[in-house]
Structure 1
Amino acid sequence: MQNTPQTRDSALRYGSITRTLHWLMAVVFVWQFTSAAAHLLAEDSPLDEFMWSTHKTSGFLLMVLIVLRVLWALANTGRRPPSVSALARLGHACLYLLMIAVPLVALIRQFGSGRAFSPFGIPLMPGFEGDKIEWMTDLRSNFHSLLGWLLLALIIGHIVAAFWHHLAGDKNVMRRIIGTPRH
């Protein structure tokens, strides 16, 4: 029997599209949080200037990926591996909520600033003349950073929980997102 790649999710493991979106987002999140940490800890350094210059574009990429991921998850409703607990279900719901909220708050703030935004050369927001829209620009200082660091804490919790399950003997938790079959 030939082993063909499984693109859709199943009750046993996530398909290749879900896994690709998961790991691609993981890489971009590492980049994104590294840029935020460099900006916080080494402001005005060459590292900060390089990393921070990519922060908005990386955030936009994450927004696109999360929209694709949510749509793909909805298309796979009923096929996905079951959650290991109600706490895991709640944790994943919070992750998805924050993965949408953090870049959305940034986009609202960007619009309110009146500055143009063209990630990857795509003219997303043309910008405008006149006064900033204060409540929109206040979102960043009031929520974007706070929600971003909360998202990082949840991501770390997600990673710790996955390893904890793996080390506690439930090897299938890691296998279903890595893609290796059960033995």
Structure 2
Amino acid sequence: MIVKYTLPARILHWLTALAIISAFALGLTTGGMEGFSLQKLQLINYHKWIGITVLGLVAIRLLWRLSHRPPALPANMAKWERQGAHLAHMALYVLMFAVPLGGWLYSSAKGFPVVWLGLVKLPDLMEKNEALAHTIKEMHELGAWVLIALAVAHAAAALKHHFIQRDDVLKRML
């Protein structure tokens, strides 16, 4: 019998994954657009909305995870694999907070408002600071690439467990 993650944990996991992939795709798209246009501005706003949504989803996920233990890993899993899985999850949570916060900080440093869903104006996290904005943007972008790389490694590990080791690691999240 497969012991799965709770239904709320699974829903939050897949919503977060979809949001992160969407935000990353929008970031790549707008980064490749030259100059200024209304279309680019709208896509940047969607990127910000999704980023703020990721912050909310991850906060809920973390609270849920702290109050609901995940299912145990397979007993035959090597110690280094268990430790690697634990470290990867910790790094994913750190990055899922840090990357959207970095984007919000960048918007604040540039003097651009963050208005979630076009309805709720969020406070600036810092005063306008053009000199620092460039560094924050680079850190945000680097963090996004590291987050995506780690998420791909996470997915690859789950697929390895499913297709090669033939255990229930992946099925627990489906």
- TM-score between the two structures when normalised by the length of structure 1: 0.77
Instruction: Specify the alignment match of 2:146 in structure 1.
Output: 150
Q: Which amino acid aligns with 1:37?
A: L
CA RMSD of the aligned region, Å?
2.6
Q: Which amino acid aligns with 1:81?
A: P
How does 1:35-50 map onto structure 2 within 5 Å?
35-43=26-34, 49=40
Deviation at 1:13, TM superposition (A): 1.7
Matched, 1:117 2:109: no
* Distance in structure 1 (CA, Å) of the matches to 2:59 and 2:53: 10
The code of the aligned residue for 1:38 comes to T
Q: Looking at both structures, which has the greater relative contact order when contacts are Cα pairs under 8 Å and sequence separation is at least 6? A: 2
Spell out the pairing of 1:61-140 with structure 2 (5 A cutoff).
Answer: 61-76=53-68, 79-83=69-73, 85-120=82-117, 121-125=119-123, 132-134=128-130, 137-140=133-136
Which digits, 9 at most, give the CA deviation of each residue in 1:65-100, with x for residues without a partner?
A: 111111111111xx3123451111111111111001
Where do residues 12-27 of structure 1 align in structure 2 (5 Å cutoff)?
A: 12-27=3-18
> Aligned partners of 2:111, 2:165: CA distance in 1, in Å?
53
Secondary structure of residue in 2 paired with 1:132: coil
Letter in 2 for 1:27: L
Q: Which whole-Å CA distance do the structure 1 matches of 2:44 and 2:124 have between them?
A: 21
The CA deviation at 1:29 is 1.6
Structure 2 unaligned segments of length 5 or more: list them: none
Counterpart contact for 1:114–1:127, Cα < 8 Å: no
Query: What is the rounded CA distance, in whole Å, between the counterparts of 2:112 and 2:54 in structure 1?
Result: 21
2:113 alignment partner AA: A
- How far does residue 133 in structure 1 lie from its aligned partner after superposition? 2.7
The number of aligned residues is 163
Q: TM-score, normalised by structure 2?
A: 0.81
Q: Residue deviations 1:116-140, cap 9 Å, x none?
A: 3211211212799xx7235652443
Change in Cα spacing, 1:127 to 1:115, as seen in structure 2 (3 Å) is: farther
State the AA in 2 paired with 1:173.
Answer: V
After TM superposition, which residue ranges in structure 1, 4 or more long, deviate above 3 angstroms? 40-46, 50-53
Structure 1 range deviating more: 50-59 or 24-33:
50-59
In structure 2, the CA distance between the partners of 1:53 and 1:115, relative to structure 1 (3 Å rule), is closer
Kindly indicate whether the alpha-carbon contact (under 8 Å) linking 1:12 and 1:80 is maintained by their aligned counterparts in 2. Answer: no
Identity level (%): 29
User: 1:122 corresponds to which letter in structure 2?
Assistant: V
Alignment of 1:59 onto 2:55? no
Q: Which stretches in structure 1 are left out of the alignment for 5+ residues?
A: 1-10, 179-183
